[in-house]
Amino acid sequence: MSGALLITGVGQRIGQHLAEHLQAQGYQVIGTYRTDRPSLTGLSEQGVQLIKCDFNQPVQVAELIAEVQRQAPALRGIIHNASDWLPDSSAESAVATLHAMMQVHVAVPYQLNLALQDQLMASEMADIIHLTDYVAEKGSRKHIAYAASKAALANMTLSFAQLLAPKVKVNSIAPALILFNDGDSEEYKQKVRAKSLMNKEAGADEILQAVDYLLQSRYVTGRSLAVDGGRHLK
């Protein structure tokens, strides 16, 4: 396993797990982060190239693109992991919520994919992986803007797969209940676990295994890999 991989949102949880393990596999991970966290020290010591970027700041996104183009003239892949899970807010800030969801889940992935396509094409083989969500196909009563933005991201998988084939494969991974958040109550955890046939919190390794499968494939593109414990059958 080799080549430069851009992973967004590596400061914690799934993104951190992906960065640590893909760097250990021999890829040169370029990881974006927004918030300074103790985890970043370990990633840096492991050799991950860290770039601070708030996707709500256009100048910082432009600087990120220029820095990736400098560091990786040939880019093995982009994993769009960065995300905010905002609940729908009160009416007065509803548009702000929708804009925030579309910015992090749609606008920046769209901008990065277009701006870095020459670098992806310069790699012997390349992958784009969009981290979407089971709710992209199902909807969500309490995260309407979030789910709509993930559905848009899933649709971009179809478009970019057609645009960049055959040199660059483009796929989605659609998770459900991979990691709970600090502060989730036992009552909430029990309720959410019960939404899937497997009735469990999957763990970040399930996403790493899905990423490994897609990076090693020479054929799968334009598809969404569901990692959701059979939630669609409950």
CB contact at 8 A, 170 and 164: yes
Please confirm, yes or no, whether 188 is among the known catalytic residues: no
- Rounded to the nearest 10°, the torsion over CA 105, 126, 69, 47 is 90
Nearer to ligand LV4SOB2L, 39 or 83 (CB): 83
From the list ligand LV4SOB2L, ligand NDP, none, pick the one residue 185 interacts with, judged by a Cβ distance below 5 to 8 Å according to partner type.
none
107 interacts with ligand LV4SOB2L by CB under 6 A: no
d(CA 30, CA 111): 17
Contact by Cβ (8 Å): 160, 113? yes
Q: Which does 149 bind (CB under 5 to 8 A by kind): ligand LV4SOB2L, ligand NDP, none?
A: none
The answer to whether residue 85 forms part of the interface with ligand LV4SOB2L (CB under 6 A) is yes
Binding at 77: pick from ligand LV4SOB2L, ligand NDP, none (beta carbon under 5-8 Å per type): none
Q: Which stretch binds ligand LV4SOB2L (CB under 6 A): 35-43, 82-90, 152-160, 202-210?
A: 82-90
- Write out the binding residues for ligand LV4SOB2L, residues 143-162 only, by CB under 6 A: none
The string of DSSP letters for 102-128 reads: HIIIIIHHHHHHHHTHHHHHTSSSEEE
Beta strands in the chain (DSSP E): 4-7, 28-33, 49-52, 75-80, 126-131, 168-175, 224-227
CB under 8 Å to 220, separation ≥6 — which residues? 169, 171, 214
User: How crowded is residue 24: how many other Cβ atoms within 10 Å of its Cβ?
Assistant: 12
Point out which residues pair with 128 in neighbouring strands: 78, 170
Residue 207 in contact with ligand LV4SOB2L, rule: CB under 6 A: no
Task: Name the token pair of 33.
Answer: 């982060």
**Does position 228 bind ligand LV4SOB2L by CB under 6 A?**
no
Compute the least distance from the CB of residue 104 to ligand LV4SOB2L, in Å.
9
Q: At what angle do helices 58-71 and 108-115 cross, to 10 degrees?
A: 30
Could you list the residues that contact ligand NDP (CB under 6 A)?
Answer: 9, 11-15, 33-35, 54-56, 81-85, 104, 131, 133, 175-179
Between 147 and 164, CB nearer to ligand NDP: 147
Q: Name which of 14 and 120 has its Cβ closer to ligand NDP.
A: 14
Terminal Cα-to-Cα distance of the chain (whole angstroms): 38
User: Residues in contact with ligand LV4SOB2L, total (CB under 6 A)?
Assistant: 9
> Residue 82's binding partner, choosing from ligand LV4SOB2L, ligand NDP, none, with beta-carbon cut-off 5 to 8 A by kind?
ligand NDP
List of residues contacting ligand LV4SOB2L (CB under 6 A): 83-85, 133, 176-178, 181, 192
